[in-house]
Homo-oligomer: A and B are copies of this chain.
Amino acid sequence: MNIWVVVSFVAGLISVGVAAWYFQWVKKQNAGTERAQRVAKWIKDGAESYLRKLYGALGLLAGILAVIIAIVFSIQQGFGYGLTMAIAFIAGAVCSTIAGYMGMAIAVEANVRSATAANEGLNPAFNVAFKAGSVMGLAMVGLALIGMSLVYLITQNANVVLGFSFGASTLALLAKAGGGIYTKTADIAADLVGKVEVGIPEDDPRNPAVVADNVGDNVGDVAGMGADIFDSYVASSVAAMLLGAALTGLSGDQLVLYTIFPLILCMLGSFASLIGVQFVQVKEGGKPGTSLNNGTIYTCVIFGVMVIAVVLVAGIDLAALWSTLAGLITGVVIGFSSDFFTGDDRPPVVETARVSGSGAAVNIITGFSYGLISIVPSVIGIVIATLVSYYLAEQSSVINGVYGVGISAVGMLAISGMIVSSDAYGPIVDNARGIAEMAGMPEEVIEVADVMDAAGNTAKAITKGFAISAAALTVLALFSAYSSEITLAAQELGKTIDMTMSLSNPMVIAAIFLGACTPPLFSALTMLSVTHNAFDMIEEIRRQFREEPGILAGTVEPDYVTCVSLASQDALKSLVIPAFLAVALPLLVGFIMGPEALGAFLGGSIFTGIIFALLMANAGGLWDNAKKYIESGFFGGKGSDAHKAGVVGDTVGDPFKDTAGPSLNTLITVMSLVSSLFAPIIVAVGGLF
């Protein structure tokens, strides 16, 4: 059976290899005029300086956590196991870091090259941007496959892969929350002083925060989103592997086959993505959005065919196939349907734009309300995917229902290579537009950049819907994995632990309520960090304008570096409490209230985590596009009252969709992982009640 794992390892190597090749190809493209290169270098230096600081701080945290893991598991299960677990944890953290870093590294090279290529037309500009996006997508998938396969090949133990996943997710959470705070701090500060106070356009090089703003796009959107999907991708595989290893009635090769089936799916998905990205091309005058969507559809079809073939060849139970396809189809459907609530010319966006003429308050109320409604179809989709995969798998004599749910999450995430490629394209073209503006490129070039940018926004909305749904299925699988870990650990210790988690138990109700408060609290803390940090930066921008009048006159270059490092420091400081909430709070609940209450606590955090993530992502996207719709000339166009209201909505939506919302999936993943990982310890120590 290990041959499959070896193939997965090799698939990972191929994926990373192709990513490296694309990387070189992009770097070889024309980097443009000296002025453009200078602008790009500011962004690159800023992004690297932030990531160095971030990973320095996170490295320290990861080191501390690794030592704790080593000690705890050594006491519990022997020194060898403790050390292995700590190493797996570090490996996960390192892979997650490399995935994020690589995406960022290519993004800061590609933005200027895409902008330069835009001088020659849409086709070459799109090609550079999408190839660069693929570097991120393929590298991420490849690193995950290499890491998971290697850990499993060496240890043959799905529990150790859990340690790998915990390392990946913890880093992803902090990279994402930190990046989200950074990007919106810079964005809001740059806009408030630049556009509102002194009246200079977006991306104007006289604005001292403009580089920090563009750096933010890279560290928040590229590195952050990459780390996020990386973590869901690994976590869903691990959850399914754990549930596979816990299947009863199987033994020997059969048990191993179902344990590694999630890895096989990831491997097939990586090949499908490799092929899918080849189809993404756009002709002059074509629609980049359509090309991206076609790429996704081709990848799904190729993946589906390959899964059917492998299931038949390897003699895997057909129920596993249905679960895979249920997840895949639901992911795509939810992704595209989330486009309804945020799409440019759909009723919610148009209606929000229309009412904006009556002021910012009406824009906010309307957008927020549609955001609330947008929760419903996605949740119904998640519920259907869960029930279908559960009951179909439950019919099987080989696998069980919870394994089916786990597999459906993997089925959804297996094509992440393609999804992330489309998504990473977004911030690259956003940056390309910024560089074109800052470097004073001609109007036609900026128009090409605008066309590419609009497609990026749609891709982003689809990815978010997809990421949240996948995270929902993943955490539901992790939630089952937690229960089965607790039960296993209790058996080994000869304890009887009730994991019914019945709603008629008041302790369960209490724990669900407490868990349900965590995602809103986490969102609030990260959003307050954004406004708080933005104030620091606003002061700095005002100081520069005040002390050096030459900046606004355009004769003196502003001090970009101070703004960049201010944003970095503030973002890092803001991560302390969120990190505590994610890692320490579940353990506290487990040790004080016991394993059953911790399960209920996780359940509560999953319910509101998904709901708030959907609300914030969709409302944010909707406000953004409502503003753009007005800017494209409707309801008064740029400069009208409606536009001013639209800008307020967009600014409110920024931390919703880019800071608080997307961190929530990762938050609930980390909380579930830390609970599963420490399950044996929680069982041994027990609750105080």
Contact = CB atoms under 8 A, between A and B. Distances in A.
Nearest to A193: B358
Nearest to A604: B607
A243 B387 CA distance: 33
A612 to B, nearest CB: 9
A508 interface: yes
B361 A527 contact: no
A192 to B, nearest CB: 5
19 contacts: A358-B535, A366-B531, A368-B527, A369-B531, A370-B528, A372-B523, A372-B524, A373-B521, A373-B524, A376-B517, A382-B513, A387-B506, A476-B509, A500-B502, A502-B503, A503-B503, A517-B611, A604-B607, A608-B611
Nearest to A487: B504
A360 interface: yes
A503 B534 contact: no
Interface string A598-615: 011001100110110001
Interface residues of A, number: 77
A401 interface: yes
Interface stretch (A231-239, A246-254, A647-655): A647-655
A478 B380 CA distance: 26
A386 interface: yes
A135 B126 CA distance: 71
Interface string A492-524: 000000011111101111101110110011011
A313 interface: no
Given A192-B358, A364-B648, A510 B608 contact: no
Which 9 pairs across A and B sit closest by C-beta, in order of nearness? A361-B651, A372-B524, A501-B503, A369-B524, A372-B520, A383-B510, A390-B506, A369-B527, A369-B528
Interface string A533-549: 01100100000000000
Contacts of A523: 369, 372
A358 B538 contact: yes
A359 B648 contact: yes
A642 interface: no
A337 B379 CA distance: 34
Given A607-B608, A651-B361, A504 B483 contact: yes
A365 interface: yes
Interface string A641-674: 0000001110110010000000000000000000
Which residue, A362, A369, A371, A501, has most C-beta atoms of chain B within 10 A? A369
A480 interface: yes
A196 interface: yes
B516 A607 contact: yes
B513 A503 contact: no
Nearest to A515: B607
Interface string A315-359: 000000000000000000000000000000000000000010011
A188 B362 CA distance: 9
Contacts of A527: 365, 368-369
A152 to B, nearest CB: 27
Contacts of A525: 369, 373
Contacts of A512: 603, 607
Given A361-B651, A362-B534, A651-B359, A603 B387 contact: no
Contact of A531 (B355, B510, B607): B355
Contacts of A375: 517, 520-521
A530 interface: yes
A452 interface: no
Nearest to A383: B510
Which residue, A370, A382, A513, A534, has most C-beta atoms of chain B within 10 A? A513
A535 B365 CA distance: 13
A528 B366 CA distance: 6
A504 B499 contact: yes
A603 B511 CA distance: 13
Assembly of this chain: how many copies? 2
A587 interface: no
B514 A379 contact: yes
A405 interface: yes
Contacts of A369: 523-525, 527-528, 531
Nearest to A371: B524
Contacts of A516: 379, 607-608, 611
Which residue, A387, A506, A510, A610, has most C-beta atoms of chain B within 10 A? A506
B521 A360 contact: no
A399 to B, nearest CB: 14
A592 to B, nearest CB: 12
Contacts of A501: 502-504
Contacts of A599: 503
B521 A386 contact: no
A355 B192 CA distance: 12
A386 B506 CA distance: 7
B365 A507 contact: no
A212 to B, nearest CB: 17
Contact of A607 (B379, B504, B607): B607
A497 to B, nearest CB: 13
A372 B521 contact: yes
B648 A405 contact: no
B380 A514 contact: yes
A383 B514 contact: yes
Contacts of A531: 355, 362, 365-366, 369
Nearest to A641: B196
Interface string A168-206: 000000000000000000001000100010000000000
